[in-house]
Amino acid sequence: MSELTQRIVATNGIRLNIAEHGDGAPVLLCHGFPESWYSWRHQLSALAAAGFHAVAPDMRGYGKSDRPEAIDQYTLFHLVGDMVGLLDALEAPSSVIVGHDWGAVVAWHAALLRPDRF
């Protein structure tokens, strides 16, 4: 993947907008509050240059991703499920996961709850 691209991925019952760049082992980048994938724009290019497939979603409720109306659709279990589902959509068995601000909480819980994937 020679340049940064965006696309919509269906996962975990919603549609997530993702920005991605590069080929190789995946690295998921979870943004903070109130941000979007764009917070990771410089890291996407740097990781791609280092040989990784860098992926930064607009997390559930942000940017171009779906915004479920019910508050109970924003639990950590849903957010971690979104990241697991994103790996499935990417056909990636596992990934490094990185988080900033609120995205760090999602990354920590993803690693805790799904060490087989992160």
35-55 confidence digits (pLDDT tens)? 999 999 999 999 999 999 999
Confidence (pLDDT) at 29 = 99
Domain boundaries, the chain: 5-113
* pLDDT score of 91: 98
pLDDT for the residue 48: 98
Q: How far is CA 4 from CA 33, 101, 109, in A?
A: 23, 23, 28
Q: Which pairing describes strands 53-57 and 14-21: parallel, antiparallel, or unpaired? A: antiparallel
CA dist., res. 20 & res. 100, Å (int): 17
10, with CB counted inside 10 A (0-12, 13-18, 19+), is: exposed
Q: Give the pLDDT confidence of 58-103 residue by residue, as tens digits.
A: 999 999 999 999 999 999 999 999 999 999 999 999 999 999 999 9
Say which residues have a Cβ less than 8 Å from residue 100's Cβ, sequence separation at least 6.
29, 30, 31, 32, 35, 39, 40
Please tell me whether the overall predicted TM-score, pTM, comes out greater than 0.85 for this model.
Answer: yes
**pLDDT of 99-118, one tens digit each?**
999 999 999 999 999 999 99
H-run or E-run covering 109: helix 102-113
Q: What superfamily does domain 5-113 belong to in CATH?
A: Alpha/Beta hydrolase fold, catalytic domain (3.40.50.1820)
